[in-house]
Structure 1
């Protein structure tokens, strides 16, 4: 069902791909738009186990798209470096394919929001908890259940 990486010498081992996914600051969520065009957005996230959580507004185009088709891909790019004299770029990336769950319990939503706050604002846990409670009624949380993960990289020795 999923296409293998063509260049086997560029495969990023699963453990390193998972680490990149854990550490990434943001990624690109790609889905099928309701208008027939692809729709991709940069978005913050947090990974836990075999799931990735996102927060969003309770309504909007992204949710319309996901209701139409919950199958998505999510890409995180790690370190990159353009190597001008070699006309190339060193990079590392991971792409995840999975199914988005739109209706989560209140407990799971709170848990995910705490995970997001811990990832992005670890020094503000107490304030983050108050913020979560204050904005909870106007915040939605989505869960991407990972079906397939693939990492790719290109390492370039500097000449």
Structure 2
């Protein structure tokens, strides 16, 4: 994965932990450059190597924004702690940037939905497969091909576990 340069060198967090956060966070924020404004949403996702997968309805604002511009950012936040007496916050964050596209090929759609199933519904794979079979025709899948990542952490010995 290629890391993007950030201004505050003391906050760079390029490590296995930042990679793990990008893979395993419960959800993230997907941001598009919409026709008239920015458009960002919290969304669940699954990762495979340098690809992030999302699912959504086969129509709506995400797909409209995608038609306007395929360049997106996706952010996840790890541990945070407000430090009021220091007027700051300790945090961990990772931002992935790249191009997003809609997946139309059924095999890749199934792969993506299985990755989501494995991440969010472990132990329910058999029922999940039936759900995928019944809903694949009315489910859109998006794939973000990660081009750059920037990862930052601040405070408390870099928010160690």
Q: TM-score, normalised by structure 2?
A: 0.91
Aligned to 2:117: 117
The 5 Å alignment of 1:1-159 reads 4-34=5-35, 36-156=36-156
CA distance in 2, matches of 1:149, 1:38: 20
Alpha-carbon shift at residue 104 of structure 1 (Å): 3.1
Structure 1 residues without counterparts, runs of 5 or longer: none
Superposition RMSD in Å:
1.4
Alpha-carbon shift at residue 14 of structure 1 (Å): 4.2
Structure 2 residues without counterparts, runs of 5 or longer: none
Q: Alignment partner of 2:123: what SS?
A: helix
Alpha-carbon shift at residue 123 of structure 1 (Å): 1.4
Does the aligned pair in 2 maintain the 1:93–1:151 contact within 8 Å?
yes
CA distance in 2, matches of 1:62, 1:44: 14
**Higher deviation after alignment, 37-46 or 85-94:** 85-94
Deviations, residues 115-155 of structure 1 (Å, cap 9, x unaligned): 10100010111111111111111101000000001100102
CA distance in 2, matches of 1:104, 1:152: 34
Does the aligned pair in 2 maintain the 1:14–1:150 contact within 8 Å?
no
Does the aligned pair in 2 maintain the 1:104–1:142 contact within 8 Å?
no
Alpha-carbon shift at residue 88 of structure 1 (Å): 1.4
CA distance in 1, matches of 2:106, 2:30: 23
